[in-house]
């Protein structure tokens, strides 16, 4: 008699997620019973027009907001049962964030920005430095570690943000419109990094309204009026979008 191994729990398990704002006649239902699983190593693009609920969903998945009802487990932990301190620890250790606006700290070097989540996590300085340098190497910025954000192009700043998201070795990389402020060449650079991370087994959920960006994912979930109207698998594209001709890269 053979013993079957249990399959690992999904990184994300969402059931009947509802989010409401306001009361009475002014009440708005941003999410209307969303359910989904994201398995380890998956690369998911969540799409939808403005007002579709995708940003609300992203905030809940990242433990930045709480649902009105429903359950949400990340890496096996039930976020609905955690207090604010426990949620903060969960965010720091299990979720890596990449935002459209980079959210880097001015007048701090790329290296210091990447080290920041490890500072909050109480990691000793030598270990912080080693891990931050390794993360910056992953995104191809070993020659920019001492540059401050205003000394970097938009694409380089976003790559620093990706390194910062990776440095804690999170269960989930959560990217909210990560190419929204980038030119074509820088978009290609960031998506190429995402593709490599996916190929290495990283779990990625990416919020986007761009079809060209979503084409890099293995799975596309589309929201309309707070409901999932499409959830499909696809073969991701082989490479980044075409670069602009030399000299037209605004960086």
pLDDT digits (tens, 9 = 90+) for 127-185: 999 999 999 999 999 999 999 999 999 999 999 999 999 999 999 999 999 999 999 99
Give the pLDDT score at 93: 87
Which residues neighbour 85 within 8 Å (Cβ) at sequence distance 6 or greater? none
What number of H helices and E strands is found in the chain?
Answer: 7, 10
pTM of the complete model beyond 0.85: yes
* Per-residue pLDDT reduced to its tens digit, 4-44: 555 678 999 999 999 999 888 888 999 999 999 999 999 99
What pLDDT score does 166 carry? 95
What CA–CA distances, in Å, run from 69 to 51, 52, 80? 19, 18, 9
What is the structure's pLDDT at 7? 61
Where do runs of H (alpha helix) occur along 53-121? 54-61, 84-94, 110-120
Q: What is the pLDDT of residues 79-108, one digit of tens each?
A: 988 888 898 888 888 999 999 899 999 999
User: Beta strands of the chain (E only): which ranges?
Assistant: 12-21, 28-38, 43-47, 69-74, 77-78, 95-98, 172-176, 204-207, 219-224, 227-233
Distance CA 132, CA 115 (A): 6
Confidence of residue 248 (pLDDT cuts 50, 70, 90): very low
76 pLDDT more than 80: yes
What domains can you pick out in the chain, each with its CATH number?
A: 40-66+83-233 (3.40.50.300)
pLDDT in tens, 200-243: 999 999 999 999 999 999 999 999 999 999 999 999 886 544 44
Predicted local distance difference test score (pLDDT) of residue 4: 54
Closest CA to 57 of 233, 198, 224, 214: 224
Q: Give residue 246's pLDDT.
A: 36
């Amino acid at each position: 008699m053979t013993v079957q191994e249990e399959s690992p729990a999904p990184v994300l398990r969402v059931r009947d997620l509802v989010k409401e704002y306001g009361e009475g006649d002014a009440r708005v239902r941003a999410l209307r019973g969303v359910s989904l699983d994201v398995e380890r190593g998956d690369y998911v693009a969540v799409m939808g027009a403005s007002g579709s609920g995708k940003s609300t969903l992203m905030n809940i998945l990242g433990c930045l907001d709480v649902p009105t009802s429903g359950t949400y487990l990340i890496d096996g932990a039930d976020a609905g049962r955690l207090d604010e301190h426990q949620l903060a620890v969960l965010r720091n250790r299990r979720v890596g964030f990449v935002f459209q606006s980079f959210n880097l700290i001015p007048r701090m070097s790329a290296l210091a920005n990447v080290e920041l989540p490890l500072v909050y996590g109480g990691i000793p300085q030598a270990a912080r430095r080693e891990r931050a340098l390794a993360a910056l190497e992953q995104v191809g910025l070993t020659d920019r570690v001492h540059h401050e954000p205003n000394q970097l192009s938009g694409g380089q700043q976003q790559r620093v943000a990706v390194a910062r998201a990776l440095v804690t070795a999170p269960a989930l990389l959560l990217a909210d419109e990560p190419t929204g402020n980038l030119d074509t060449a820088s978009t290609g650079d960031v998506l190429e990094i995402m593709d490599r991370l996916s190929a290495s087994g990283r779990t990625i959920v990416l919020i986007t309204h761009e079809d060209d960006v979503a084409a890099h994912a293995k799975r596309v979930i589309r929201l309309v009026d707070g409901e999932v109207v499409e959830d499909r698998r696809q073969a991701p594209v082989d490479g980044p979008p075409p670069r602009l001709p030399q000299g037209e890269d605004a960086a």
